[in-house]
Amino acid sequence: MRRGATIEAVHRVHAVAVRDGSVVAEAGDAALVAFMRSSSKPLQAIQLARARGDMDVRDLAIASASHLADEAQLAAVRALLAKAPANVDELECGPEGDPPSPLNHNCSGKHAGMLALCRAHDWPREGYRLAPHPVQRAMLAVHAEAAEVSEDEIPTAVDGCGVVTFALPLERTAHAFSRLERLDGGERVAEGMRAHPELIRGPLATDTRLMRALPGWIAKGGAEGLLCAAGHGLGVALKTEDGSGRALGPAAAAFFAELGLDLGELAVIPLENSRKERVGEIRI
C-alpha cells in the first residue's frame, strides 16, 4: 500500500489453484491452515438445497451471502424466512444495524437457511447454531465431503455469528470449491450465486466483482482475508497472512493472470482521503 510514493504497509498473500485434485498453481504456502469463515456459506447452502426443493436461486444466493443489508438483500432474507417458515426473532446471529436487528446481520441469510433446514428435517430450531445440533453436524459433514477429508481432521471453532466455523489447508479449501458444483445440490447453489452476484456481498466487494468479471465463476470471501472461487472445474483459495481483506483484489488479479484469466479491474485499489482525493493505491 503506497501513500504518495512511499510504501506504508505490505500484505503477504498465499494462493493455490486446484483442478481434479491436483495443484496447478500456487504462491506461498498451499498447506497454510485457515478457518473458512464466511467462505463456507456456499458449502453450507448445499445442505439447504438438498433438503428443500422449493428453494429458488435467490433463496440459495442469499443463504450463501455476506450481505450489506441493502433493500434488495433484506427483501431476499425476508422471503427466505417466510418460506422456511421462521421469524426474525428466531435468528441466532445477533443484532446489527440501526435500529439493531438480527435481520441486518450480514449472516442473516445463512441463518435463515439453517432455520429452513430445521423445518425440513423437523429438528429443534432453538440452539441450531451450536456444535452438537444436527444443523452444525450436517455442516461439518458437507465440508468433509467437499474437501474429501474425514470429519475428525477438520479443526472447528465459533464463527463471528455464533455458528461453527471450519479450518482446512488452503489446498483442501480450493479442492472443496473445485468440487462444489459436482456435489448433490451444489449446482443449484452455484446457479443462485451466478444469477445474483449482487446479493453475495456488494458492488465494491472482491467476490461480487470477480463473479461479474468472469462469467461462469462463483466467488465468496471470508473474514481474516480469505477469498475462495471456482469455475470450469478449477478451485482457487487466497489468504492474506495478516488477515487484511484489502489485499485480495490485487492479489487475485495477479494470481488469476497466471491461470490465463483476466481480473485486471481488481489489480489496483485506489486509496482516497475523506475529500475523495486519490492519495495512493494498493497493488502488487
Report whether the peptide linkage leading into residue 85 is cis, meaning its omega lies within 30 degrees of zero.
yes
C-alpha grid cell, residue 17: 489453484
C-alpha grid cell, residue 173: 479449501
* Cα angle for residues 173, 176, 182 (degrees, 5° grid): 165
Mean pLDDT for each 10-residue chunk of the chain (284 residues)? Answer: 97 98 98 98 98 98 98 98 98 96 98 98 98 98 98 98 98 98 98 98 97 98 98 98 97 98 97 97 96
Note the pLDDT of residue 259.
97
Note the pLDDT of residue 67.
98
pTM beyond 0.95, yes or no: yes
DSSP output for 207-262? HHHHHHHSTT-EEEEETTTEEEEEETTEEEEEEETT--GGGHHHHHHHHHHHTT--
- Using the CB atoms, write b or e for 115-137: b if 16+ within 10 Å: bbbbebeebebeebbeeebebbe
Q: How far apart are CA 16 and CA 210, in angstroms?
A: 16
Are 14 and 27 within 8 A, CB to CB? yes
Note the pLDDT of residue 188.
98
Q: How far apart are CA 216 and CA 229, in angstroms?
A: 11
Note the pLDDT of residue 204.
95
CA 72 to chain centre: 19
Q: Which of 229, 233, 231 is nearest to 215 (CA)?
A: 231
Note the pLDDT of residue 14.
98
Average pLDDT, the chain: 98
Note the pLDDT of residue 195.
98
CATH number of the domain to which 73 belongs: 3.40.710
Q: Kindly give the pairing relationship between strand 278-282 and strand 269-272.
A: antiparallel
**How many residues are recorded in the chain?**
284
How many domains does the chain contain in total? 1
Q: Which of 106, 102, 136 is nearest to 38 (CA)?
A: 106
* Phi, psi (degrees; rounded to nearest 5) at 169: -60, 150
Q: Domain span at residue 95?
A: 2-282
DSSP state of 38: G
- The HSE-up count of residue 91 (CA atoms within 13 Å, CB side) is 29
